[in-house]
């Protein structure tokens, strides 16, 4: 790849450490292709590489022919249609159907005899011009002309041909004769006749499709603020463009400059209408989808009909024209390679290796992205730092596109502006957009919350883990990270172990390190032993992140404050499902480009989805992946993506209602049970109905719920935690046990037997820091549902209205169903489980109940009385009582009001009065589980005071 052409508006930063740069460094895109790449295109081949779509101006500048050199073009005139006038039924000519083949691409065009005449005339004019205008820029064409016979093939054929053949035959011979010569076949008029363009022969875009010259009308966007105020025809502007129709999208482009001007994706609202009634113009065609009514104008009634029929024929094969299961945009994809991850260590490592494999495109969207986060640890150089990886790939010619949530800065400190500047100042191949503009879009409360990465539209990573500080963790959930002075093993922490179960699922892959070493940062990491550097060491309830433009300065004193461990899940998927993930990103990217004026320049390109017809070709795969049925789900709305969908909510409710034995929920939030006023999602209602059904049928059924013990807001819980923490606690308790709509209140029918059906837990850990015992909750950030050891959902969607309704935050998830079966146990009987789901459930349970340290703990049967009561619930109860005794932990069940909270915090705990006895007590701790304290502050109204800023916010902000 040639070195990029850069126009700098400020000097290059001396250090790769993030700089506080106020302006964009690169004004121009890197559009130059390398000499080797251009030579390769000149030599020909059976197809064009996909990366060509990002270098269309280069193709034009370098004179790369649209038809592939060395690959013959053959044509066959195999049908005719009689053309009549519309009213008088008078025959006025014949329409010829021409079938064309170029390599493995086939397509059809329809032409009148006059089009053959016009082609012949234009070729003859071009030939004469080369003879009489011996300019240097025509040298290539003259060379091609010399290879041609003295005379061009006659349009009327030879006398022998006319005697022995039909008109169809000699027109066919005429075309084939022209196409044997490079001068004729690469002429502009011939390419127009054949309907061939720069995007015709890119295999990853699918079949050749339909192409041609059209006039398109401005406007038609279904996005507020993008159309002319008036609707009269004088407000419209007509532009000449080249239309390209593929199997899942269409676009129009400026052919003179090789610039894509607009992309329209097929969706369930896709329609094609013909006639003045729909277009207000003669020979018009109206093409609709969720975001636009595109009007094009054809040269005749017959051409308009032809275009409409062919567009519908191509679109008819698309999966995206209809609504699928759960009202989703994508269907379930069978035989999809997939892999789950518990915690960020294995996820980040596999993601780093996958990014290294990128050859064409990298798509990233996150709620928060920290460019300086390390993907492999401990870091001894900057090679595996995210910004360095992306810079390295950009320098290799990979196009890196990043979509970030643009936060309300007064409310959140994630500093997406810093992330954008840092990445975009590294290389012009790195493009970063932020959305929404809160004022223009009138969106203040909702966020883009997806966490996904797609690589070459072939492999994708989806889940709850942002590429950000604080997210990396493993099954040890360390509370401290002091570096070399720290003892190798801490009180209450197990030795690390490489977890691989019988199904081949590894918690963390350990791929070989590259031989190449990256340039050292100003901070020497050669002898580094720390896992969390700078801001990455965090406890955001003690202190939220600040000064993110200084990423390697500590945010808290790690010698005094334990970090808050981070528990999360994600998944990797391949093939068609990965294409679905990439399509969602492309839809959001193109939507943002249209919506925000600052992104309408050429620096931010339109993105094109690859065809699913080539999705099964996998250049690389994530290690230890297994096949399953995978469906990509999302929450999306017109403000976020331009369409409406809440398939994640539908999948959750369907899975709960149809579960036979158990569900396991691990989620950052648990806000549900619809009342039609403050809460609207019905996940809690589905749980209640399923438990009542099991009770009426006298069948064993279990519900496991694991959530964080406190919401993730900065606040001093010894003083009540603050308004934000209390607001979330209010709606969490409203879901679990308080008020008429809560789950436990609605289980009156089972009375005290509710404990046989549902268990509500959090996670906690302890260790020793600076000679003192410390404890901290483990922050559960997961968004996971597992059912019956056969299916699971992993994604970014919390159990609350913000994530689930679709009209609020944008989200993404995958629904994975095992297609294979392995022998297992359920309810004391033999059971056929899915290998992926079984392994995931066991990995979760193994760590939570401490089965590693006690081989007698059997986690094979999740619903047996022995496991549910004597392992899961007994462990949670014992652990909670020990933590209360040793640390006086908060939240806890015996603090019912603010007075008792104050008294509780004034009491000395065993840790302070008798440290040695405290250590002895803590030896009985098993795993991480503690029961969620259902009685904490039960006598207080936890809603924010009306006069506070939290109290003045809409209720939907918290739900």
* 844 neighbors 666 (Cβ within 8 angstroms): yes
Q: Residue 385 and residue 533: Cα distance in Å, rounded?
A: 12
Q: How many CB atoms lie within 10 A of CB 316?
A: 10
CB 113 within 8 A of CB 123: no
Rounded to whole angstroms, the Cα distance separating 340 from 405 reads: 25
349: tokens are 């490592």
Active site (annotated) includes residue 29: no
- Give CA–CA dist 891/738, Å, rounded: 16
* Inter-residue contact 645 to 634 (CB < 8 Å): yes
Query: What is the rounded distance in angstroms from the CA atom of residue 466 to the CA atom of residue 566?
Result: 11
Cα 23-25-30 angle, rounded to 5 deg: 140
For residues 103 and 71, is the Cβ–Cβ distance under 8 A? Answer: yes
The catalytically annotated residue of 449, 530, 610, 931 is: 449
**3-class secondary structure, 356:** helix
Question: Are 890 and 717 contacting, i.e. CB atoms less than 8 angstroms apart?
Answer: yes
Contact 922, 886 (CB under 8 A): yes
User: Which among 952, 937, 862, 863 has a CA at the least distance from the CA of 895?
Assistant: 937
- Find out whether 206 and 247 touch, Cβ atoms under 8 Å: yes
d(CA 434, CA 424): 12
Residue 796 in contact with residue 464, Cβ under 8 Å? yes
Cα 354 to chain centroid, rounded: 15
Where helices occur in 159-283 by DSSP H, the ranges are 159-164, 167-179, 182-185, 188-194, 276-279
3-state helix, strand, coil in the chain (%, to 5): 30, 20, 45
> Is residue 331 within 8 Å of 325, Cβ to Cβ?
yes
∠ CA(809), CA(811), CA(816), 5° rounding? 155
Neighbour tally for 558: CB within 10 Å: 21
Tokens 């073009």 map to which residue? 73
Using a 10 angstrom Cβ sphere, with 0-12 exposed, 13-18 middle and 19 or more buried, the burial of residue 110 is middle
Other CB atoms closer than 10 Å to residue 117's CB: what's the count? 11
How far apart (Å, rounded) are the C-alpha atoms in residues 632 and 328? 8
* Catalytic-role residue among 267, 788, 801, 818: 788
Q: How many residues does the chain have?
A: 959
Return the bridge partners of 792, or none.
Answer: 786, 816
Residues contacting residue 843 through CB under 8 Å, at least 6 positions apart: 342, 499, 501, 505, 507
677 labelled catalytic: no
231 in active site:
no
Catalytic member of 781, 789, 818, 931: 781
**Two structure tokens written together for 844:** 């979760």
Is-contact 13 21, C-beta < 8 A?
yes
β-sheet bridge partners, residue 101: 74, 106
Question: Is 783 annotated in the active site?
Answer: yes
Active site residue 788: yes
Tell me which of 204, 350, 456, 685 is the catalytic residue.
456
Distance CA(193)–CA(121), nearest Å, equals 13
* Angstrom distance (rounded) from CA 100 to CA 76: 7
Which one of 451, 593, 730, 765 is the catalytic residue? 451
Cα Dmax for the chain = 114
Q: At what angle do helices 874-887 and 915-922 cross, to 10 degrees?
A: 170
The 3-state DSSP class for residue 195 equals coil
Name 810's Cβ contacts closer than 8 Å, sequence gap at least 6.
Answer: 446, 447, 448, 449, 450, 588, 634, 635, 636, 637, 640, 641
Task: For residue 33, give Cα distances in angstroms to 43, 60, 61, 360.
Answer: 15, 12, 10, 13
517 and 392 Cβ atoms separated by less than 8 Å: no
**CA-to-CA distance for 53 and 420, rounded, in angstroms?**
24
Q: Which residues are catalytic?
A: 449, 451, 456, 781, 783, 788
């Amino acid at each position: 790849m040639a070195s990029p052409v850069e126009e700098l508006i400020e000097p290059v930063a001396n250090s790769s450490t993030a700089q506080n740069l106020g302006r964009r460094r690169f004004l121009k895109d890197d559009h130059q292709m390398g000499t080797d790449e251009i030579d390769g295109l000149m030599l020909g081949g059976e197809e064009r590489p996909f990366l060509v779509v990002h270098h269309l101006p280069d193709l034009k500048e370098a004179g790369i022919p649209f038809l592939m050199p060395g690959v013959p073009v053959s044509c066959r005139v195999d049908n005719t249609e009689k053309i009549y006038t519309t009213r008088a039924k008078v025959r006025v000519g014949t329409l010829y159907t021409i079938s064309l083949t170029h390599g493995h691409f086939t397509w059809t065009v329809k032409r009148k005899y006059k089009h053959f005449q016009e082609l012949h005339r234009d070729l003859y004019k071009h030939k004469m011009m080369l003879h009489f205008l011996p300019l240097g820029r025509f040298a290539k064409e003259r060379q091609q002309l010399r290879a041609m016979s003295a005379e061009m093939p006659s349009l009327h054929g030879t006398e022998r041909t006319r005697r022995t053949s039909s008109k169809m035959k000699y027109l066919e011979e005429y075309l084939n004769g022209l196409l044997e010569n490079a001068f004729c076949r690469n002429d502009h008029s011939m390419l127009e006749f054949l309907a061939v363009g720069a995007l015709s022969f890119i295999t990853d875009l699918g079949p050749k499709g339909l192409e041609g010259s059209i006039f398109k009308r401005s406007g038609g966007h279904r996005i507020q603020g993008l159309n002319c105020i008036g609707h009269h025809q004088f407000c419209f502007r007509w532009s000449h463009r080249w239309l390209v129709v593929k199997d899942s999208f269409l676009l129009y482009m400026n052919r003179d400059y090789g610039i894509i001007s607009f992309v329209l994706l097929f969706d369930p609202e896709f329609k094609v209408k013909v006639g003045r009634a729909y277009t207000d113009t003669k020979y018009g065609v109206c093409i609709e989808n969720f975001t636009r009514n595109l009007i094009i104008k054809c040269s005749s009634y017959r051409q308009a009909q032809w275009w409409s029929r062919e567009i519908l024929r191509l679109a008819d094969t698309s999966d995206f024209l209809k609504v699928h299961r759960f009202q989703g945009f994508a269907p379930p994809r069978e035989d999809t390679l997939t892999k789950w991850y518990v915690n960020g260590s294995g996820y980040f490592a596999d993601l780093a290796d996958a990014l290294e494999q990128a050859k064409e495109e990298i798509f990233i969207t996150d709620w928060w992205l920290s460019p300086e986060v390390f993907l492999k640890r401990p870091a001894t150089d900057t090679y595996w730092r995210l910004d360095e990886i992306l810079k390295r790939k950009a320098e290799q010619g990979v196009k890196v596109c990043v979509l970030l949530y643009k936060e309300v800065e007064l409310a959140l400190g994630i500093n997406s502006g810093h992330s954008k500047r840092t990445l975009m100042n590294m290389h012009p191949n790195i493009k970063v957009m932020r959305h929404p503009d809160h004022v223009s879009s009138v969106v203040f409360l909702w966020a883009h919350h997806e966490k996904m990465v797609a690589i070459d539209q072939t492999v994708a990573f989806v889940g709850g883990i942002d590429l950000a500080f604080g997210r990396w963790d493993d099954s040890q959930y360390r509370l401290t990270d002091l570096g070399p002075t720290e003892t190798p093993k801490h009180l209450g922490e197990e030795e690390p172990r490489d977890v691989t179960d019988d199904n081949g699922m590894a918690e963390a892959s350990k791929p070989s390190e590259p031989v190449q070493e990256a340039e050292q940062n100003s901070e020497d990491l050669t002898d580094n032993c720390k896992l969390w550097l700078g801001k990455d060491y965090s406890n955001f309830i003690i202190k939220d992140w600040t000064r993110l433009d200084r990423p390697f300065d500590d945010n808290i004193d790690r010698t005094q404050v334990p970090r808050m461990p981070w528990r999360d899940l994600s998944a990797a998927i391949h093939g068609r499902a990965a294409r679905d993930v990439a399509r969602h990103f492309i839809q959001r990217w193109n939507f943002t480009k249209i919506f925000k004026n600052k992104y309408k320049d050429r620096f931010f390109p339109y993105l094109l989805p690859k065809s699913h017809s080539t999705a099964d070709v996998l250049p690389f795969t994530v290690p230890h992946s297994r096949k399953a049925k995978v469906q990509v789900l999302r929450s999306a709305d017109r403000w976020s993506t331009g369409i409406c969908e809440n398939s994640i909510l539908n999948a959750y409710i369907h899975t709960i209602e149809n579960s036979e034995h158990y569900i396991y929920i691990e989620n950052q939030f648990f806000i549900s049970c619809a009342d039609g006023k403050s809460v609207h999602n019905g996940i809690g209602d589905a749980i209640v109905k399923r438990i009542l059904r099991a009770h009426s049928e006298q069948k064993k059924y279990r519900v496991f719920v694991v959530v964080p013990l406190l919401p993730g807001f900065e606040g001093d819980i010894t003083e009540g935690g603050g308004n934000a923490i209390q607001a979330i606690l209010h709606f969490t308790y409203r879901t679990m046990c308080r008020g008429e709509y809560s789950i436990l209140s609605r289980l009156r029918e089972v009375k005290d037997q509710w404990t046989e059906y549902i268990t509500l837990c959090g996670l906690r850990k302890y260790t020793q820091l600076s000679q003192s015992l410390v404890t901290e909750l483990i922050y559960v950030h997961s968004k996971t549902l597992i059912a019956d050891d056969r299916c699971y959902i992993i994604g970014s969607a919390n159990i609350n209205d913000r994530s689930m309704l679709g009209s609020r935050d944008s989200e993404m998830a995958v629904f994975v169903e095992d297609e294979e079966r392995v022998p297992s146990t359920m309810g004391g009987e033999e059971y056929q489980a899915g290998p992926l789901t079984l392994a995931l459930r066991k990995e979760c349970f193994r760590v939570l109940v401490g089965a590693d340290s006690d081989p007698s703990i059997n986690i094979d049967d999740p619903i047996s009385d022995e496991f549910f009561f004597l392992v899961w619930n007994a462990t949670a109860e014992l652990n909670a009582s020990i933590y209360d005794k040793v640390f006086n932990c908060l939240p806890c069940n015996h603090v019912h009001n603010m007075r008792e909270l104050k008294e509780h915090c004034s009491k000395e705990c065993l840790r302070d009065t008798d440290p040695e006895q405290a250590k002895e007590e803590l030896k009985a701790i098993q795993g991480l589980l503690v029961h969620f304290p259902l009685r904490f502050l039960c006598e207080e109204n936890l809603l924010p005071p009306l006069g506070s800023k939290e109290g003045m916010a809409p209720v939907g902000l918290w739900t």
